[in-house]
Structure 1
Amino acid sequence: MGGGRRLYPARLDDGGRGRADPRSDNRRCGPGRRSVAGWSAGFRRRRGLLPRPGRTPDAGGGDTMTLLVNLISAYALVMACVIALWFLSMRIRNVSIIDMFWGAGFGLISILLLLINRPGTLYPLLIAAMPLIWSLRYTAFIFQRNWGKGEDARYTKLRSWAETDAAFNKLALKKVFLLQGHIMVIVALPVIVALSLSGPPALPVLMWIGAAIWLTGVLVEATADRQLKAFRADPEKRGQILDTGLWRYSRHPNYFGDAVMWWGVFIAASANPLALPTVVGPILMTHFLINVTGVATLDKKMAREKPGYADYMARTSGFVPWPPKAKAAPR
């Protein structure tokens, strides 16, 4: 076995003679020297640009199987949680508990995927950390806001549509709990896919661009929530319309920040082009924030209940912050 040639174990059909390993090129580095290729690979692995030695890029469906396991695991976790909350809501007669789970659910998905995959490179760790950090702030905010205040008016109205409690419970399971659970999994697709990919990101710069956009969204949402909380806590502002701070430039800056945050997660995940199809996640979230549960619904309610809100709508951007129009001069 001299000369640096590695031999395969002897086989019966070659008369017991070992044969040379064809993968060996019979070349060695000089004493005390490392090849440039080896040094480069080690450097990039330490920077998170190459996978760990124990996890090689997909060459035969490995990433596909990992994605399937991650997707099924995340789906099972979310469905188990929303069904458990549905049973609890029937016992306490309060569907609003699902709102407290909305942010926490994304954090649980991130934790589950980190436990399953145990990533050792920067790309998956960053993608998982972003929704996890956001969920901590958002869940604490919603919990503090909703705790002890009874069922939200949206669900009370839905309850009035059903003739019996049993009919309402079935309606709530389908229209509230299961619906939110499925939306949560779709919105989390950038995270699920990113933690399923073993190869290095092709465009690492997108990780940092996405992280910057994510941070911007988190700060906008948190600032808008804080301003709204302070406004509601001031008895002198009762009956008035919040049109200062971020609310001067957008009627719903909190929703805008939420959408921006999810777009940041997607852009960071798309550093690996295989995550590009998960754009359906931020698109769906933005659609719901604008057209379903957010801007459109709340504007109708506020215009009906708050004098002067129509004027506020006329001069203030509905979603994207923008300089307000001048107030119309009185006639």
Structure 2
Amino acid sequence: MLAGVAGVFVGASLVMALAWLIGERTGQSGWADAIWSLCVGMLGVAAALLPLADEPAPSPRQWLVAAMAAAWSARLAVHIALRTHGRAEDPRYAELRREWGGEARWRLFWFFQIQAVVAAVLALSIALAARNPAPGLRLLDWLGLAVIAAAIVGEAVADRQLQRFRTRSRSSGAVCEVGLWRFSRHPNYFFEWLVWVAYPLIAFDPGGGYGWGWLALSAPVLMYWLLVHVSGIPPLEAHMLRTRGDAFRAYQARVNAFWPGAAGTPPPGEAHR
């Protein structure tokens, strides 16, 4: 068991070291986000399905959880790869390079190693859900499937709405406030967090027979902290304030940052077409 946990962390570290090298060679560190998504998915699938000592063939729950992880990983990785291909450096990484100056190369390496730790924790949460020993598939398993399906679809819709807005907007200073973006300034981040709520639902045993399942809560807690307080909303909103100014400040005053809420009065103009 401990060897398997160690293997997950080592595997994540090696993959993110490769992501750092690709970023240095291409000048586009945004590829690391696509690679990270694949890393979490592959590690999660492996941790869910690989047999432990004296363990029988994978259970229906293990197959279900592995499929959930693979579907999320593939969708997100393809989206990020298409967004990254042929474009300039991601503004978040560009700002880090500017801030870190001559130390940027190696500080990015360790930054990606921190992402490797996050990837490993998420993969282990997937494994904890998959290996819940409760017999058969329960209502909580189907609820977890419904939650992650809604989250993947919601995130894909938000990403598509933002992409279409960027394509159609004639003003470089416009703020996307269409569709789901009228109810949250970062609906894609909200749905990304919701993905990780699915695994504790599957890992939870109401009868108390699977104490390890509680550790799966580390996934949504960690993702919320990262998205809302560390590497998600703060640097992105700082970039938007620099590039959109008062238009984005007005958007901040009307719309919740993360949790969906009632839409404010929409301003007139291109941002709502």
Is the Cα contact below 8 Å between 1:250 and 1:316 reproduced in 2?
Answer: yes
Report the CA distance between 1:172 and its aligned residue. Answer: 1.1
Deviations 1:67-110 (A, max 9, x none): x2332222222111111222333333433221121211122113
Is the Cα contact below 8 Å between 2:182 and 2:264 reproduced in 1?
Answer: no
Task: Give the corresponding residue for 2:270.
Answer: none
Q: How does 1:42-81 map to 2 (within 5 A)?
A: 65=1, 68-81=2-15
Paired residue secondary structure (1:236): coil
Which residue identity does 2:264 align to in structure 1? K
Larger Cα-atom Rg: 1
Task: Give the corresponding residue for 1:131.
Answer: 69
Task: Give the corresponding residue for 1:154.
Answer: 92
Report the CA distance between 1:239 and its aligned residue. Answer: 2.7
Is the Cα contact below 8 Å between 1:162 and 1:168 reproduced in 2?
Answer: yes
Q: 1:180 aligns with which of 90, 96, 115?
A: 115
Is the Cα contact below 8 Å between 1:315 and 1:325 reproduced in 2?
Answer: yes
RCO higher in 1 or 2 (8 Å CA, sep ≥ 6)? 2
Identity of matched residues, % = 28
Report the CA distance between 1:237 and its aligned residue. Answer: 5.2
Report the CA distance between 1:254 and its aligned residue. Answer: 0.6
Is the Cα contact below 8 Å between 2:128 and 2:215 reproduced in 1?
Answer: no
Q: 1:323 aligns with which of 257, 262, 272?
A: 262
Give the distance between the partners of 1:114 and 1:187, measured in 2 at CA: 12
**TM-align CA RMSD:** 2.4
Task: Give the corresponding residue for 2:22.
Answer: 88
Q: Specify which structure has the higher proportion of helix.
A: 2
Is the Cα contact below 8 Å between 2:151 and 2:191 reproduced in 1?
Answer: yes
Report the CA distance between 1:134 and its aligned residue. Answer: 0.7
Is the Cα contact below 8 Å between 1:106 and 1:132 reproduced in 2?
Answer: no
The TM-score, its normalising length taken from structure 1, stands at 0.71
Q: 1:225 aligns with which of 148, 151, 159?
A: 159
Task: Give the corresponding residue for 1:258.
Answer: 192
Is the Cα contact below 8 Å between 1:270 and 1:276 reproduced in 2?
Answer: yes
Count how many residue pairs are aligned between Structure 1 and Structure 2.
Answer: 258
Q: How does 1:1-331 map to 2 (within 5 A)?
A: 65=1, 68-114=2-48, 116-117=50-51, 119-162=57-100, 164=102, 167-175=103-111, 177-196=112-131, 199-200=133-134, 204-236=138-170, 238-271=172-205, 272-306=210-244, 307-326=246-265
The TM-score, its normalising length taken from structure 2, stands at 0.85
